[in-house]
Structure 1
Amino acid sequence: MTRAAEHEQTHEREYDVVVLGAGPVGENVVDRVRAAGLSAAVVESELVGGECSYWACMPSKALLRPAIVRSEARRVAGLRAHAYGPLDAQEVLAHRDEVVGNWQDDGQVSWVRSTGADLYRGQGRLHGPRRVTVEGAEGDRHVLTARHAVAVCTGSRAVLPPLPGLTGARPWTSREATSSERVPRRLVVVGGGVVGAEMATAWQALGAHVTMLIRGDRLLPRMEPFAGEHVAAALTERGADIRTGVSVSAVVRDGSAGPVTVVLDGGDHVEGDEVLFATGRRPRTEDIGLETVGLEPGSWLAVDDSLRVDGFDWLYAVGDVNHRALLTHQGKYQARIAGAAIAARATEKADDAVAWGPHRATADHAAVPQVVFTDPEAAAVGLSLAEAEAAGHRVRAVDLDLRGVAGAGLYAQGYRGHARMVVDLDREVVLGATFVGPGIGELLHSATVAVTGEVPIARLWHAVPAYPTISEAWLRLLEAYRDGDGADGS
């Protein structure tokens, strides 16, 4: 038999669970089902470790960390005079490359194999109920049958709007923004969400002049308004040009390596050396065989709280593909829930009825945490004031200027920040909290515990914050609530 004929052979194998996608979400599903004693296969068409490891969370934070440290050093006595030089851009980029393993996935592959799961490289597609075909790069074909479950963990990708000239202009998406090997002299950022704000912060600190074009009226529109206001003010103070209420009508690139012109509605334009479109995500489900089980290719997959796709008893959709919370840590949480549910159902032990139980991703609705690693940082968990009111809760928002907290003044001279706690007046529990300011990302988990645990305000009084830390913000918020400060919601 020739080598080509060997590659054309079809190999069939049966597993308890087959996972499409070996990013952090798929890895966690595999980890949980293997820990429960189930056999598992995982299929990956790109790098094992996924978007977060190579083009999102890890490289972006490697780019942002030097910017944040330098900024904070400028507000510390004894360091200020030594922190005004430029960042060593090449050293920062080299460290970014190291963090992502130079886009090699050997370590991640070793970890997957250490769980006892089998890894298949290639394009995986559903081929009817409980069956997945894998087309390898060298023509090999595998057919994998799942006894209990197939989990779709293929994530999402950046959306580019259908604008005249955009394809030829070679725009950046989040992938190019986190992997570029050079600092553009001028960067135009289209979009005011998390990716836009973080990449504007990083590349501005590395020496680019940043112009942000935002369709809406503010930065970070999914958070409390004051969060985006603080971040926008800091970017502007450092030289960024932030324009709100504008729409892009076309993009033109001058030659193969020339400048790019972003044309706005009304005829105005902005020039840059690169343009980043941070304008949303879509699911990576267009080529995974959804049509073979009656689902629409390219669609988000609706699921129940155990992450099982509506209308199926064997198909799960975990992470970005279900559109519940497009965050790596939340996808990993869903993966732990889904893995536990799959394993329990394999032995007929699942209990779907218990909120906050081991087989229900209740936090997706009530306590999703997020940190935006801008300078200053912004962080939130649970419901904003507007979301709580829209949901029909009788609430009070309690606000705090963080400059009044002793630990903030010690953390940085001239500290600026703000905190808000949203309280359910009927149950006297915290529904949500938002913080903005230097170093506040590490405050978020205490808020997440309070929201997730539905800790009564009366009990929170006994959670004593250490002095002098920024965590004393919790004491000041509770005092303001006791004294009746803040506005009651409807």
Structure 2
Amino acid sequence: MSEAVEYDVLVLGGGPAGENVVDRVRAAGLSAALVESELVGGECSYWACVPSKALLRPALARADARKVPGLADAVRGPLDAAAVLAHRDYWTSNWKDDGGRDWLASIGVDLYRGHGRLYGIRKIAVTSPEGEHTVLSARQAVVVATGTRALLPDLPGLAGARPWTSREATSAGQAPERLLIVGGSVVAVEMATAWQALGSRVTLLVRGARLLPRMEPFAGELVAEALREAGAVVRTGVDVEAVVRDGATGPVTVVLTGGETLEGDELLMATGRVPRTEDIGLDTVGLEPGGWIAVDESCRVSGTDWLYAVGDVNHRALLTHQGKYQARIAGAAIAARAAGAATGADEGRWGPYAATADTAAVPQVVFTDPEAAAVGLTAAEAERAGHRVRAVDYDLARVSGAGLYADGYAGRARMVVDLDREVLLGATFVGPGTAELVHAATVAVVGEVPIARLWHAVPAFPTMSEIWLRLLETYRDADGAS
């Protein structure tokens, strides 16, 4: 290999987290290079958030329209699957990253395409698709942002059955007639919603007792009810023991515990994620290949003064927006520490650069029909953490804004209140159109806004945001009755 090419900051992985790191350090005047083995923009842009929402939006819009008087009869027909898939392809730029590449060039970041591996302290070795080898060296920091990949369980016959993962589920060119989905979390329920709407007959096989196990129980219950109403089969408490594919293109059969078999045309395994760290040179810096990377609040790897890990790979919060948040924190910390080193300043002064929102105020939206949106702790999580709490529930259908949104509106909201401090620890909203409610809840949780102060945040009439007033009234009435 030739002499190392030197930059202030090196970033391994060009998804949203990696992009945000280079953006932040370049804004601070540091030089940067980014190493990416696939497409600039990463999983989110091409195989996850963006294509899945492009598939889901027509399904949700049709579901909403079917509940609006004067419009319902006009949308009784099927979705135009070809148009929906073309819309998805547009939003993934047909799986080309010219835009991402041009953006990096516009902010002065050099892109190295190929497989990157840590090569000892402050170095990355890159092997290009053509087999050329380049060593990059960092004056200040190296950031690992390689994300995760789908976890496929060790089931007999699974590898030979060529199952879908989230990548195939979001990029498929046509709807399978029969789609079996194993899993009950976000990928499983969102893809069940999308492909059922696009014409597949979906069967959802869930090992646990309910869908969306990390949210309030009513979220999974309402989503399961809606999937069944749409025609999907939802089975909980079942285990898959083996998988068989009939030939190269034939149907796939899953074998359940007890010997029952189910047949489909495609099988989606939505059974979790694992870090993409098995072959990135962690062993060259004393870390274990294949595992999650432990970091401090500034996303710096424990025991180092130069290595950072942002996004899914550090296992703090496996969500794109949280990875981007971490990247902004890490980029600011790197820039501040570089400035501190240059002036001889004490590094401790840069303590405010901390990713505190990864632990108690993580927002998430599940784009099913109905949508499920939540932030912070569930009631059960808050109690396990030792808080004295009250869970306040309200039927969203009783809010005027929801009733105007759709006939027969069904939904539910909950806020979790810390009784000792009278601030919100968490909130959950389930129902059509609730995704836009979660940021207000996030502000309340992050800002630790006192309940007494929330009374003065007046919701506009008639909107679904009136749910805040109803929740506060319910909390007040319960307090008066106790």
TM range (shorter): over 0.9
Matches of residues 37-436 of structure 1 in structure 2 within 5 Å? 37-348=29-340, 357=352, 359-436=353-430
Contact 2:336–2:350 (Cα < 8 Å) also in 1: no
Q: 1:456 is matched with which residue: 431, 437, 450?
A: 450
CA shift for structure 1 position 438? 0.1
Relative to 1, partners in 2 of residues 1:351 and 1:405: Cα closer, same or farther, differing over 3 Å? Answer: farther
1:477 lines up with 2:471 in the alignment: yes
Q: What SS class does the counterpart of residue 484 from structure 1 fall into?
A: helix
CA shift for structure 1 position 71? 0.3
Q: Which amino acid aligns with 2:192?
A: A
Contact 1:47–1:105 (Cα < 8 Å) also in 2: yes
Contact 1:397–1:422 (Cα < 8 Å) also in 2: yes
Contact 1:398–1:487 (Cα < 8 Å) also in 2: no
Q: Which amino acid aligns with 2:229?
A: E
CA shift for structure 1 position 117? 1.0
Relative to 1, partners in 2 of residues 1:350 and 1:214: Cα closer, same or farther, differing over 3 Å? Answer: farther
Q: Which amino acid aligns with 2:251?
A: P
CA shift for structure 1 position 12? 2.0
What's the CA shift string for 1:379-435, capped at 9, x where partnerless? 100000000000000110000000110000000000000000000011110000000
Match of 1:6 in 2: none
CA shift for structure 1 position 354? 8.6
What's the CA shift string for 1:44-69, capped at 9, x where partnerless? 00001100000000000000000000
Contact 1:419–1:435 (Cα < 8 Å) also in 2: yes
Q: What SS class does the counterpart of residue 184 from structure 2 fall into?
A: coil
Deviating more after overlay: 115-124 vs 346-355: 346-355
CA shift for structure 1 position 133? 0.5
Q: What SS class does the counterpart of residue 14 from structure 1 fall into?
A: strand
Distance (Å, rounded) in 2 between the aligned partners of 1:23 and 1:352: 30
Relative to 1, partners in 2 of residues 1:354 and 1:121: Cα closer, same or farther, differing over 3 Å? Answer: closer
Distance (Å, rounded) in 1 between the aligned partners of 2:480 and 2:85: 45
Contact 1:306–1:352 (Cα < 8 Å) also in 2: no
Q: What SS class does the counterpart of residue 4 from structure 2 fall into?
A: strand
Contact 2:299–2:310 (Cα < 8 Å) also in 1: yes
Q: Which amino acid aligns with 2:232?
A: A
Distance (Å, rounded) in 2 between the aligned partners of 1:354 and 1:41: 24
Distance (Å, rounded) in 2 between the aligned partners of 1:353 and 1:392: 32
CA shift for structure 1 position 138? 1.2
What's the CA shift string for 1:316-375, capped at 9, x where partnerless? 0100000010000000000000000011111126876898x3x10000011000000000
Match of 2:441 in 1: 447
Distance (Å, rounded) in 2 between the aligned partners of 1:427 and 1:181: 52
Contact 1:231–1:375 (Cα < 8 Å) also in 2: yes
Distance (Å, rounded) in 2 between the aligned partners of 1:48 and 1:388: 38
Distance (Å, rounded) in 1 between the aligned partners of 2:289 and 2:365: 32
Distance (Å, rounded) in 2 between the aligned partners of 1:58 and 1:487: 47
Q: Which amino acid aligns with 1:295?
A: L
Contact 1:397–1:486 (Cα < 8 Å) also in 2: no
CA shift for structure 1 position 83? 1.0
CA shift for structure 1 position 114? 1.1
Distance (Å, rounded) in 2 between the aligned partners of 1:351 and 1:65: 46
Gapped regions of structure 1 (runs ≥ 5): 1-8
Match of 1:466 in 2: 460
Match of 1:3 in 2: none
Distance (Å, rounded) in 1 between the aligned partners of 2:447 and 2:333: 22
Q: Which amino acid aligns with 2:156?
A: P
Distance (Å, rounded) in 2 between the aligned partners of 1:144 and 1:376: 48
Distance (Å, rounded) in 2 between the aligned partners of 1:485 and 1:436: 24
Q: Which amino acid aligns with 1:154?
A: T
Match of 1:36 in 2: 28
What's the CA shift string for 1:145-197, capped at 9, x where partnerless? 11111000000000000111111111000000000001000000000000000
Contact 2:337–2:350 (Cα < 8 Å) also in 1: no
Relative to 1, partners in 2 of residues 1:64 and 1:352: Cα closer, same or farther, differing over 3 Å? Answer: farther
Distance (Å, rounded) in 1 between the aligned partners of 2:114 and 2:480: 55
Identity rate, percent: 73
1:24 lines up with 2:16 in the alignment: yes
Contact 1:307–1:338 (Cα < 8 Å) also in 2: yes
Q: Which amino acid aligns with 1:346?
A: A
Distance (Å, rounded) in 1 between the aligned partners of 2:378 and 2:295: 24
